[in-house]
């Protein structure tokens, strides 16, 4: 195996950036304190140890693939990886105890282990244009992703800022079961697609959309600018906790059988203060009188009379009857009954028709 250690000047003002080598690396590459190193290779593959020591900087403009061990920072201070290309981890990435940073707007992909020091006193920051995790991502850091996070593995973090979060794995807050305040999953815009499990003490969706067939573990708040779309054309979205909502919901219905319509299943209490429920009949399905769906289930239901309802695809002459039985809300298609005003107009019209017929008969008799 080939080993390489690189030593540079002792101060950053004298440091000259250089290409890390050899490639591939099966030994040790150490970027010492105050040193600056670069990678332009596509790919650069590390099967050994790549260590970015405290106060050092590694700039990546190529495709940096780690199959071995990548250490960022140390016990004496933080380090920086300026990522303008792709940082792909199949091995182990570890943050030290200092203030470590990965930034630069590149891509991060993890199928291995991406972990931080849980005993650290510093605060890390990870920034990227997109992040794809199919392994273990467990970093007590501020994570800022300007584009999309796709998670099919285990994602553990307490401060995520993201445009779109697509989850088919597990997303947890390490403090979700503690009594500490302020640990929440918060969304002001964008989209969360959860087909796995998201667990936080508080899940606050102030804006944007929330959709999927997964489970939200924690107390959920849906703001007035947010839209919830249970299921995945269609399916069931579950909440293991209480729901407080002033937002909007879209339920898709493609039939009367289980799995053909959306369901919001709440293992807790539901509190509504306004908002709107829209029901869309999709895939060519035409409802008939007597069709029935249990679309919302909760331990208890409060404020449901403050919610508005709209329907798309409900045929002419049909109406909807809502029924609440112990927290289970169902809707049934019925034949619409004309309002009293409609009856009055109908009778007036019939009377006018009779009067005109009588006048015609009188004229003919004359």
Q: What is the CA radius of gyration of the chain?
A: 30
Q: What is the mean pLDDT of residues 343-358?
A: 42
pLDDT(59) > 90:
yes
What pLDDT is recorded for position 340?
A: 53
Residue 8 or residue 277, greater confidence: 277
pTM: 0.74
- pLDDT score recorded for residue 2: 34
- Looking at the chain, the whole-number percentage of residues with pLDDT higher than 70 is 83
Query: Residue 130 above 50 pLDDT?
Result: yes
pLDDT at 25: 97
The pLDDT of residue 266 is 97
Check whether 151 has a pLDDT greater than 90: yes
> Which pLDDT score, from 0 to 100, does residue 338 have?
58
Express the helix, strand and coil content of the chain in percent, nearest 5 each. Answer: 10, 55, 40
Task: List Cβ neighbours of 148 (8 Å cut-off, separation of 6 or more).
Answer: 130, 131, 162, 163, 164, 165, 166
Q: What is the mean pLDDT of residues 126-147?
A: 91
Dihedral over Cα of 252, 255, 257, 259: its sign? negative
Q: Which residue has the higher pLDDT, 231 or 263?
A: 263
Q: Which residues contact 342 (CB under 8 A, 6 or more apart)?
A: none
Q: Would the pLDDT of 346 be above 70?
A: no
- Whether residue 336 has pLDDT greater than 50: yes
pLDDT at 364 over 80: no
> Is 237's pLDDT higher than 60?
yes
- pLDDT, the chain, mean: 84
Enumerate the β-bridge partners of residue 93. Answer: 70, 114
**What are the tens digits of pLDDT across the range 99-110?**
889 999 999 999
At residue 16, the pLDDT reads 59
At residue 268 the predicted structure's pLDDT band, cuts being 50, 70 and 90, is: very high
Taking only the tens place, the pLDDT of each residue in 155-186 is 988 778 888 889 999 888 765 433 333 367 88
pLDDT digits (tens, 9 = 90+) for 84-100: 999 999 999 998 877 88
Residue 122's pLDDT band, with cuts at 50, 70 and 90, is low
Tokens for 228, please give them: 């919830």
With a pLDDT cut of 90, the percent of the chain lying above it is 61
């Amino acid at each position: 195996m080939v080993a390489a250690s690189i030593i540079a000047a002792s101060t950053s003002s004298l440091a000259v950036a250089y290409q890390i080598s050899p490639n591939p690396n099966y030994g040790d590459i150490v970027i010492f304190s105050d040193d600056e190193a670069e990678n332009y290779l596509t790919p650069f593959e590390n099967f050994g140890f790549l260590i970015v020591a405290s106060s050092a900087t590694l700039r990546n403009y190529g495709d940096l693939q780690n199959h071995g061990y990548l250490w960022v920072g140390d016990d004496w201070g933080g380090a920086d990886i300026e990522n303008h290309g792709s940082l792909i981890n199949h091995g182990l990435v570890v943050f030290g105890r200092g203030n470590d940073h990965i930034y630069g707007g590149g891509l991060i992909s993890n199928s291995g282990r991406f972990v931080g020091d849980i005993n650290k006193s510093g605060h890390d920051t990870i920034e990227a244009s997109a992040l794809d995790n199919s392994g273990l991502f467990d970093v007590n850091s501020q994570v800022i992703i300007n584009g999309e996070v796709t998670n099919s593995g285990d994602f553990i973090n307490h401060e995520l800022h993201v445009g779109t979060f697509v989850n088919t794995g597990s997303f947890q807050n390490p403090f979700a079961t503690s009594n500490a305040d302020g640990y929440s999953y918060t969304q002001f815009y964008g989209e969360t697609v959860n087909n796995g499990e998201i667990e936080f003490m508080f899940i606050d969706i102030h804006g944007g959309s929330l959709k999927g067939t997964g489970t939200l573990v924690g107390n959920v708040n849906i703001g007035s600018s947010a839209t919830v779309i249970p299921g995945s054309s269609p399916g069931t979205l579950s909440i293991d906790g209480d729901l407080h909502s002033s937002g909007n919901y879209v339920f898709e219905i493609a039939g009367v059988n289980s799995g053909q319509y959306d369901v919001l299943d709440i293992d807790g209490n539901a509190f509504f203060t306004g908002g709107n429920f829209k029901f869309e009949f999709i895939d060519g399905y035409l409802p008939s009188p007597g069709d029935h769906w249990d679309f919302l289930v909760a331990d208890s239901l409060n404020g449901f009379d403050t919610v508005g309802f709209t329907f798309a695809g409900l045929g002419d002459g049909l109406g909807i009857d809502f029924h609440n039985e112990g927290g289970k809300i169902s809707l049934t298609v019925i034949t619409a009954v004309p309002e009293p005003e409609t009856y009055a107009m109908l009778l007036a019209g019939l009377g006018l028709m009779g009067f005109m017929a009588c006048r015609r008969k009188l004229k003919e008799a004359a």
